[in-house]
């Protein structure tokens, strides 16, 4: 297992009157190359959880192992950890600052102390991976559109060549096509490079479409941890914790209640269309 | 006969962003809004769709005089937005709610935050409290009136922002992607509150969003592209054109897309299905026809 969280608790402002528990007994194992979705309402502990995975926050109790090593050990190289576990924050384009796109993407690998040629090669590869047109490489990042800026920011993290990529709502505020483009590129990164992806999202439809596994957070604990079609079977429980299922799941349940013999587990448009056609005997 | 006057009217509105280099020389001109003419009747629920950079936010900023037209005219409740003397009156009549709730809340206590607008308008104290109460009730946040805003969820904060605008007794509210940062429940809460304002209080609503499901109840939808109005119609008319919307980098609600996919596979369904209920009914008819 690449990443193991073993009975992790986190208490903010421990020992003060303001103390509040943000994570409670989290046990997770994440194998290499998996695409994991993390969902939960605002304040459920998603962000606290992902900040533990690259050592930005330390567990109050419990242990986190990355590739077999405890990241809280005194002699553990946390700088190296942060280059291996890349974290893309919400609205990462607010962190762009350099004079042009290419220089901005070079910032991360340059700080790793790599030589200039290697830095530039990595920046170039990263920009290609996010699908940014080449004529934009030497433009000011501030002249780009919202979706383009977002991709430059993601390239900045990819240029560190992480083994695990964590993205906190990478599609917030983008138009539907922009959302699809970014998620498709992340999916193809996972497929082509075998990178492990953790995606925090508020869009149940996106999660259903792209991930292999969903972790549902509620009040600092894991409520469900399973494949999308199993997790979304609990749509009533999900609603109680401020979430929902994709709209197609509701359609399938409504059809079933009206007596149409469909399997109600479909979570994507394609699955739903296949299932309805099957029930109607359309090839 | 008295002609009904639009609450928001734009006539051939053009807005150009001028980009300058360090010396202040003009580098280029971007036309963000390109000859847009709109006439919005009081009490309507209007949705504006469009991809990032299509000009929808620039258009919205003209409605409460944050931006002034390069060409053309904008009237809010009959007042020309370029007339400086109208500005405060316009901003009170057409309130605005933005994407990030954290940038819009200033008060330490919810009710104090909501009272800020009317207080600035010089409303007598007793009336301010009345307005704060009715506004918070309208968005379902009255029980949180003594809470600290930073203890609230995103959806709750956004409803407090809406109450803050409502307390100024606007005739029109413009919401620029108010749900972009919210979880599913927060989105639902905000949209329910906005629909309530429109249905119950009769406030004209202009909602800008990237979530197609949020606007199926709108009276009218405008789709922007390259600064122009590319499509306009009822949600059903707009969402019937799946391919055209995809060309414009947009989408349709999942239920509409599923119905479209089933049509392509040979099922006989009506165009522009908008709700789960409509699709279930249309499929039930299929079952009956199939059995006959």
Q: What is the ipTM of this complex?
A: 0.85
Range of the domain at B230: 8-234
Half-sphere exposure of B275 (CA within 13 A, CB side): 6
Q: What is the mean pLDDT of chain B?
A: 91
| φ/ψ of residue B133, rounded to 5 | -65, -50
SS3 A35: strand
Chain B nearest C-alpha distance from A242 (Å): 5
Question: Look-up: residue for tokens 């991360």?
Answer: A108
Q: Which residue of A has its CA nearest to B56?
A: A175
- Chain A partners of B258 at a C-beta cutoff of 8 Å? 248, 251, 269, 272-273, 276
Q: Is pLDDT of B290 > 80? A: no
Q: Nearest CA to B68 among B26, B7, B6, B16?
A: B16
A183–chain B nearest CA distance, Å: 15
Per-residue pLDDT tens over the stretch B140-170: 999 999 999 988 888 899 999 999 999 999 9
- Please indicate whether, in this complex, the C-beta atoms of B52 and A174 are within 8 angstroms of each other: yes
CB of A185 within 8 A of CB of A204? Answer: no
Which residues on adjacent β-strands are paired with residue B74?
Answer: B10
Partners of B155 on chain A (C-beta within 8 Å) are: 42
Which pLDDT score, from 0 to 100, does residue A144 have? Answer: 86
**pLDDT exceeds cutoff 90 at B176:** yes
- Binned at pLDDT 50, 70 and 90, residue B81 comes out as very high
Q: How confident is the model at residue A274 (pLDDT cuts 50, 70, 90)?
A: very high
- Least confident interval from A80-84, B177-181, B284-288: B284-288
CB contact under 8 A, B283 and A145: no
Question: CB neighbours (10 Å) of residue A192?
Answer: 9
Q: Give B288's pLDDT tier (boundaries 50, 70, 90).
A: low
Closest chain B residue to A144, measured at CA: B53
Closest CA to B10 of B83, B90, B81, B89: B81
- Residue B287: per-residue pLDDT: 67
- What is the pairing mode between strands A20-30 and A3-12? antiparallel
Residue B17 lies in a domain: yes
Q: Is residue B113 in a domain?
A: yes
How many domains does chain B fold into?
1
Please indicate whether, in this complex, the C-beta atoms of B184 and A202 are within 8 angstroms of each other. yes
Q: Does residue B97 belong to any structural domain of this protein?
A: yes
Q: What is the pLDDT of residues A224-250, one digit of tens each?
A: 999 999 999 999 999 999 899 999 999
Environment class of B78 (CB within 10 Å of its CB; exposed 0-12, middle 13-18, buried 19+)? exposed
Tokens 């929808």 — which residue? B56
Does residue B195 lie within any of the structural domains? yes
Which pTM was predicted? Answer: 0.88
- Asked if residue B1 is part of any domain, the answer here is no
Amino acid B291: pLDDT:
47
Taking only residues 159 to 218 of chain A, the set having a beta carbon closer than 8 angstroms to any beta carbon of chain B reads: 172-179, 202, 204-205
Sequence-separated (6 or more) residues with CB below 8 Å from residue A164: A2, A3, A30, A53, A54, A84, A85, A86, A195, A196, A197, A198
The edge-to-edge listing of strands for the beta sheet with A20-30 is A20-30, A3-12, A61-66, A69-70
**Does A140 contact chain B (CB < 8 Å)?**
no
Find, among B266, B259, B252, B253, the residue nearest to B280 by Cα: B259
For the ranges A171-175, B129-133, B285-289, the one whose mean pLDDT is highest: B129-133
Count Cβ neighbours within 10 Å for each residue of A251-278 and write b for 16 or more, e otherwise.
bbbbbeeeebebebbbbbbebbbbbbbe
Q: Report pLDDT digits (tens) over A18-44.
A: 888 999 999 999 999 999 999 998 889
Chain B neighbors of A246, CB-CB under 8 A: 254
Average pLDDT value for residue range A190-212: 95
Report if residue B135 sits inside a domain. yes
Q: What is the dihedral of CA A82, A84, A89, A92, to 10 degrees?
A: 100
- Average pLDDT rounded to a whole number, residues B116-125: 92
CATH number for B81: 3.40.50.300
Does residue B52 fall inside a structural domain? yes
Q: Is residue B31 part of a domain?
A: yes
Q: Do B180 and A172 touch (CB under 8 A)?
A: yes
């Amino acid at each position: 297992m690449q990443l193991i969280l073993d009975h992790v608790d986190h208490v903010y402002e421990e020992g003060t009157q303001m103390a509040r528990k943000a994570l409670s007994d989290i046990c997770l194992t994440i194998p290499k190359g998996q695409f994991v979705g993390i969902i939960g309402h605002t304040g459920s502990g998603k962000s606290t959880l992902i900040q533990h995975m690259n050592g930005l926050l330390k567990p109050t109790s419990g242990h986190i192992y990355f590739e077999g090593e405890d990241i809280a050990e005194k002699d553990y190289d946390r700088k190296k950890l942060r280059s291996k576990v890349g974290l893309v924050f919400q609205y990462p384009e607010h962190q762009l600052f350099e004079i042009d796109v290419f220089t901005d993407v070079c910032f991360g690998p340059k700080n790793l102390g790599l030589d200039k040629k290697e830095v530039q090669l990595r920046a170039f590869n990263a920009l290609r991976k996010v699908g940014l047109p080449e004529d934009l490489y030497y433009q000011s990042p501030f002249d780009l559109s919202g979706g383009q800026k977002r991709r430059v920011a993601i390239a900045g993290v990819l240029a560190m060549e992480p083994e695990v990529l964590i993205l906190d709502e990478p599609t917030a505020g983008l138009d539907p096509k922009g959302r699809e483009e970014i998620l498709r590129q992340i999916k193809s990164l996972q497929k082509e490079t075998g990178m492990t992806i953790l995606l925090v999202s508020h869009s149940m439809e996106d999660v259903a479409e792209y991930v292999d596994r969903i972790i549902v957070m509620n009040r600092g604990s894991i409520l469900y941890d399973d494949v999308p079609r199993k997790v979304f079977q609990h749509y009533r429980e999900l609603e109680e914790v401020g979430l929902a299922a994709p709209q197609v799941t509701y359609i399938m349940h409504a059809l079933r209640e009206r007596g149409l013999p469909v399997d109600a587990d479909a979570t994507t448009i394609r699955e739903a269309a296949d299932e309805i056609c099957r029930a109607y005997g359309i090839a | 006969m008295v002609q009904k006057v639009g609450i928001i009217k734009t006539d051939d509105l053009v807005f150009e962003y001028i980009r300058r280099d360090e010396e202040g020389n003009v580098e280029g001109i971007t036309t963000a809004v390109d000859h847009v003419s709109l006439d919005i009747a009081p009490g309507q629920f209007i949705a504006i769709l469009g991809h990032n950079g299509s000009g929808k936010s620039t258009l919205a900023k003209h409605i409460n005089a944050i931006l002034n037209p390069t060409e053309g005219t904008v009237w809010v409740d009959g007042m020309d937005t370029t007339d400086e003397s109208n500005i405060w009156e316009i901003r009170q009549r057409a309130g605005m709610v933005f994407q990030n709730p954290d940038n819009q809340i200033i008060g330490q206590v919810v009710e104090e935050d909501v009272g800020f607008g009317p207080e600035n308008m010089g409303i007598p104290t007793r009336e301010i409290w009345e307005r704060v109460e009715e506004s918070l009730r309208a968005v379902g946040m009255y029980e949180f009136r003594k809470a600290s805003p930073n203890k609230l969820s995103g959806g709750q904060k956004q409803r407090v922002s809406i109450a803050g605008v409502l307390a100024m007794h606007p005739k029109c509210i413009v919401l620029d992607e108010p749900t972009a940062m919210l979880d599913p429940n927060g989105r639902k809460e905000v949209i329910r509150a906005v629909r309530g304002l429109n249905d119950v209080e009769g406030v004209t609503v202009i909602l800008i969003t990237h979530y197609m499901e949020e606007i199926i109840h709108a009276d009218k939808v405008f789709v922007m592209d390259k600064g122009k109005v590319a499509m306009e119609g009822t949600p059903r008319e707009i969402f019937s054109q799946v391919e055209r919307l995809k060309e414009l980098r947009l989408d349709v609600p999942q239920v509409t897309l599923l119905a479209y996919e089933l049509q392509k596979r040979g099922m006989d369904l009506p165009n522009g299905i908008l709700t789960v209920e409509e699709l279930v009914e249309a499929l039930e008819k299929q079952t009956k026809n199939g059995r006959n």
